[in-house]
A = this chain, B = another copy of it.
Amino acid sequence: MNRQMLQQQPEVTVTDSFWRHYMQLVKEEMIPFQWDVLNDRGDIIIESERDDATIPTEKSHVIENFKIAAGLKEGNHYGWLFQDSDLYKWIEAAANTLAIEKDQALITQIEETIALLEAAQEDDGYLSTYYQIDAPQLKFRRLFESHEFYCIGHLIEAAIAYNEATGSDRLLQVADKAIACIEANFGKAEGKIDGTDGHQEIELALVRLYELTGNQRYLDLSAYFLAVRGQNPHFFADQLEENDRLGLKQGSKPFINTVYHQADKPVSEQDTARGHAVRLVYMAQAMAGTGHHKQDEKLVVAAKKIWSNIVQKRMYVTGGIGSTVRGEAFTYDYDLPNDLMYCETCAAIGLLNFSNELLKSETDSKYADIMERVLYNSIISGMALDGKHFFYVNPLEVDPLASAGNPDKSHVKATRPSWFGCACCPPNLARTLPAVGRYAFTQKADEVLLNLFIDSELVAEQEGKAYTIRQNHTFSETGKTLITVEKTSSELLRLGIRIPYWAENPLIIVAGEAAVAEISNGYTYVTVKSESTEIELTYTIAISELEAHPLVKADKGKVALQRGSFLYCMEEQDNGKHLHLLSLTGAIQPRFQSDQILGDIVCLEAEGELQVLEDEWQDKLYRVRQEPQSVPKKLTFIPYYSWGNRSLGEMQVWIDKEAAHV
């Protein structure tokens, strides 16, 4: 294999106790637990992520599918078409964990798994257990739903992670062979299929593989898949017709919603976030990366328009995206209902990666702001603090009565189940959390950016010159950031330090000298000359009452509280039932607390009011209005990510705020 590294992925070691905790959970809880799930071991309750009788929940069967495809077992495929990706994401998670701490037993487990993949892969490189086992006649012939490329995309990402963690090429060979099979079957040439997969993922994986190897083939293939998408909006439907014409036995021929697949028009002409949220952000990340490397300005501009549409009009304050369960999709500008949304964990992870990709080509802290918002809120809310329970849907408002009693909200779970029939989210978390350091810094040709305030150490090289950057933070009443730079040469190093929008009155001291923190695109720059430099940043951590754009109907007259990176919410456990009857009236104070379940957290406390449920209501449903009666009530807010870890109850992010009367 042609290995010519374009850009060394900088090595970042995370030392932050907040994130180390998550990394521990992934290693000690998630990876072994998911391994048992994949192998149909143990007493695991698998839940469907929404109310749909067609979702498989009986077992995982993933390893079994590969064994059958490899000829090691007999039987039929079981589960989703895209379940192979569960295993690939498990490998990526395991590899990312290995990158933190070597573990020979885990390497052996992965190597055995790779051997299984090698055995299951066909001679021409084809690999998709469902089609190999149950429908070989339909290989690459039902791309609207097949997820064949989607799975190979995750295989590629797993192979990259395993290579980065161990230096081994073995899984990269499997991936390359699968890519070669796709190249042999797809393209403009006569006899090839001129189209692409219904679920984007391979494109972004190919960009990453190009960045790892420098092999132009991969970048070209990503560019081709982006270019062919939506060129013929009937492509998916035409395939089904052709199958019929050829007399191939196939399943249903449903109506294909091409907007759902972002395949109704060329991607470079797509400038709003439409359709399935995960697919959209995966595609947009690939557009940004491919456009960047190919210097295709049209692709980059389209990606940026999509990004702006998301963050300016279609994103929840948690960073969650997807306003409806139907199609797990975006809807329209400012449509952000707090109790109906989807806000899938995978979509949040996709938005993190998409933003990170744009940051690589454009230095602007707006991207890091979103990365931080998504990471500290909508992503980690996807996992319980015990590392054993997960959300697929991350709501902004939960009432257990509604989840149980109104089918429009049955997808909104009031507690995290242990595993899902469609298990895309938990393994997506498992692969992302150990790699969180990757988002803390961005290494560019002429500068290094410090994006996220995560205690960590970057060890990198730039044009042969090695340097180390360490960041350490204290987020007590006042925020304090200490950055230490060490270099092996006296060449200048340009370091951009993000000043978050929530850091008020930032003061910077460089090498003992107080300096004015001049901010450019959200970063303050320090040019490090000497071999060792200390930079100290102090600031006030803002506690903000955020309001939403007035066209967000659901949030009118309401505020959401934020302190630093963390968004807050109220839970019934702290505030009693009927959270919607509470309103915020007074000032907000932080309270530093060590909680047995929630850990060391900063709660927010505020004076508020509770509207009284007067006796006079009794059995009335409507009455002539009377002035509402309220009593003072102390309100407690906890970080959003930590909700749902205690007993079952209501949760609410947005709270009524009385307008001042002039």
Give A contacts to B, CB under 8 Å: 53, 254-255, 308, 311-313, 315, 317, 323-327, 329, 331-332, 335, 337, 340, 401-402, 404-408, 544-553, 556-557, 559-560, 578, 580-581, 611, 613, 617, 619-628, 656-662
Contact = CB atoms under 8 A, between A and B. Distances in A.
A324 B658 CA distance: 31
A625 B546 contact: yes
Nearest to A310: B621
6 contacts: A312-B619, A335-B406, A549-B620, A550-B578, A627-B659, A658-B659
B659 A628 contact: yes
A639 to B, nearest CB: 17
Contact of A547 (B405, B560, B623): B623
Given A553-B580, A557-B557, A547 B622 contact: yes
Nearest to A401: B332
B324 A408 contact: yes
B547 A326 contact: no
Copies of this protein in the assembly total: 2
A547 B626 contact: yes
Nearest to A332: B405
A657 B659 CA distance: 12
B324 A546 contact: no
B311 A660 contact: no
Contacts of A326: 407-408
Nearest to A257: B407
Nearest to A660: B627
A617 B549 contact: yes
Contacts of A559: 625
Shortest 5 CB-CB distances between A and B: which pairs?
A: A332-B405, A326-B407, A547-B625, A331-B406, A545-B625
Contacts of A549: 617, 620-622
Nearest to A613: B550
Nearest to A577: B551
Given A402-B335, A557-B656, A325 B580 contact: no
Given A312-B619, A317-B622, A545-B624, 4 more contacts: A335-B405, A547-B626, A551-B578, A658-B659
Contacts of A340: 340, 408
Contacts of A332: 401-402, 404-406
A408 B325 contact: yes
Given A405-B331, A408-B326, A624 B550 contact: no
